[in-house]
Amino acid sequence: MRVTLFDYGAGNLHSLAKALATVPGAEVRVQEDPLRALDTDVLVLPGVGAFGAAVARLEPGREAMRAALEQGLPCLGICLGMQLLFEGSDEGEGAGLGYFAGRVKRLAAKRVPEIGWNQVEDERTLAGARLDTVYYAHSFVCRAADASVVTGWTTHEADRFPAAVRRGRVVGVQFHPEKSSTAGVRFVQAFLREVAP
């Protein structure tokens, strides 16, 4: 199973690649070209960087990537990667993939960014990989236009926001599973097992 991390040029992908590689048969590679990144069995949009810079790197392949997701290419979007699955962001210029309807907004809290562990409520993203407490590092959150795609919620101060979204074989999570201890790695493993060809 070919698992491709699309690299938009920010952050250390090592811990995420290591978590993905724990699944037997997973061949993890990093690809900077958005079109070449689609030559894969599973696409992963990692979770470090700024929205504007990331969509600029994504732009040459944005329509092709959106079409591939609509046609069933499995995708896991993490933190910023989840935000790229939405239409746009107040953090920066440019269009996201628009796979999920809605916009990314600044976290409505006094303490921003939210960095650290927090609870996930009503989590039902993947069978057999329930999450309770996960690790966050973010200032922006997705505001889904359709609440039915939300498969888990988190509250920071008084702001309740989607911790996870899912439509078909595309999952987005605002937290960092690769930094969420054993449960987070188990979540990544469950996703890859479910979508494996």
The residues annotated as belonging to the active site are 79, 176, 178
Structure tokens at 111: 């303490």
Separation of alpha carbons 4 and 41, rounded Å: 8
Residues 6+ apart with CB under 8 A from 130: 123, 124
| Count of all residues that appear for the chain in the document | 197
Cα separation, 177 vs 19, whole angstroms: 9
φ, ψ dihedrals at 82, nearest 5°: -65, -45
User: How many C-beta neighbours within 10 Å does residue 137 have?
Assistant: 15
C-alpha span between 7 and 131 (Å, rounded): 26
